[in-house]
Amino acid sequence: MNAQPQALSASDAAVLATAAQARSLELDVLRFLSLTAMCTLHVLSTWWQAPDLAPQARAVAQLLHDACQFCVPVLFLVSLVLTARRLERDAAKGTVRSVGSRIGLLARPTFTWLGLYWLVGLALQSQGLASQWIFRIPLGPSPLATVMLAVHLWFMLVLLQMEPLFPRVHRAVERLTAGRPARALGLVVAVFALKAAVTGFMFQPSRAAIGAWMGLAAPFWLDLMVLGATWPLLQTLLPSRPSLTTFAVWGLGLPALAAGLNTLEVRYWMGQGVPELLAHSNWRVGNLLYGVALFAAVIVHKDWLLSRLSATVSMGLTRFGQSYAYGFYLAHALFLLTAELLAPRLGWPPSARLVFMLVMTFGGTGALLLLVSRTPRLGAWLGVR
């Protein structure tokens, strides 16, 4: 049953109308789903490290973990599609100015949180504690000479690298495709094949140590940058009228097939002796195809999906995408690592610890963002707009 429209305040209606000019609600839906999946994935990968976890529970957690792995390709793709629209909209302003303002907008909260997590890492080290979400690089004998990096911030660092590269990719794609969807599809297939060759080389056990670092460079994600640049053309090849057949193929069949291939790829690389962290990583082609399949599924069925969202929910998704998305990503690990350290001391069974970690991570992050949003100047430094 369709939700009945609800009245919006004048300010909310203005925000929604302004947002609709530069973005699409389906992209905000995809961003919200991806961030929810990402946070769930991180909680699960922390929870299953417990020594008292039954093998069956660990196996289920790993399956759920793999099911949530569409999040990174989709998050990148949403950002790139919006960036492509911004480049076209700001053509009169100039690419350099547009890219510079975007980098400034992303860099300020990213490096603020890098510093905050560094301090958290030093505090943990002084107490003899450690978290899997803080990566330590000793540079000398002194504790202060240890670099503390929050593991999850790799995404923001790659996104910052993509910003100056993407306009070049976008121009190259425009020249190569000449506005033809068939050429765009061929170009995407070619870069996907290149990604498969690169990952097949880097995922060999003897190269795993180097391969784990390759995904931290923006050129490694050329496939997603090309996909983001060609998306307006590729979208013309998708079904425009949802039907039972369309839903069976695009809504169920292709995402289920991609999810299965993603899981099989993880099992394959683990069977080849690749370290578990790399085998489950977002560097893989199977993970890429899974994310693209879910992205396309939402786009194909956007009219059906969005018509069932109330005005209040639509407004909330738009506000989240515009104001809170990056802040949520940047902040959630602070509460996750807190839950990681507290959960073993509670003496609870694994299932209760999982609920505690989920509530602590989602609830704590949400509460912090709402609190910070009341102070706009502070929010700008912490990723809340």
In a domain, 375, yes or no: yes
φ, ψ dihedrals at 134, nearest 5°: -120, 115
In a domain, 5, yes or no: no
Cα–Cα nearest to 238, from 291, 196, 301, 288: 301
Per-residue confidence (pLDDT) for residue 11, from 0 to 100 = 47
Answer for the pair 30, 295: CB distance below 8 angstroms, yes or no: yes
Per-residue confidence (pLDDT) for residue 148, from 0 to 100 = 85
Could you give the CA distance from residue 342 to residue 352 in angstroms, rounded to a whole number? Answer: 13
Residue range(s) defining the domain that contains residue 272: 10-382
Percent of the chain scoring above 70 in pLDDT: 92
Radius of gyration for the chain, computed over Cα atoms and rounded to the nearest angstrom: 21
State the average pLDDT for the chain: 88
Per-residue confidence (pLDDT) for residue 358, from 0 to 100 = 97
pLDDT category at 243 given cuts 50, 70, 90 is confident
Question: Over the stretch 202-218, which tens digit does the pLDDT of each residue have?
Answer: 888 778 777 778 888 99
User: Which DSSP string corresponds to 121-141?
Assistant: HHHHHHTT---TTEEEEE-SS
Per-residue confidence (pLDDT) for residue 23, from 0 to 100 = 58
Answer for the pair 357, 336: CB distance below 8 angstroms, yes or no: yes
Answer for the pair 330, 25: CB distance below 8 angstroms, yes or no: no
In a domain, 4, yes or no: no
Q: Look at residue 303 and tell me whether its pLDDT is greater than 80.
A: yes
Question: Over the stretch 64-78, which tens digit does the pLDDT of each residue have?
Answer: 988 899 999 999 999
Question: Over the stretch 164-207, which tens digit does the pLDDT of each residue have?
Answer: 999 999 999 999 999 999 999 999 999 999 999 998 888 887 78
Could you give the CA distance from residue 172 to residue 229 in angstroms, rounded to a whole number? Answer: 9
In a domain, 332, yes or no: yes
Average pLDDT over residues 282-286: 90
Q: How many domains does the chain have?
A: 1
In a domain, 3, yes or no: no
C-alpha dist (Å) from residue 136 to 140, 146, 147, 338 = 12, 6, 6, 17
> Exposed, middle or buried, 131 (CB in 10 Å: 0-12/13-18/19+)?
buried
In a domain, 1, yes or no: no
pLDDT category at 143 given cuts 50, 70, 90 is low
- Helix count (H) and strand count (E) of the chain? 18, 2
Give the CA angle between residues 22, 23, 27 to the nearest 5°.
170
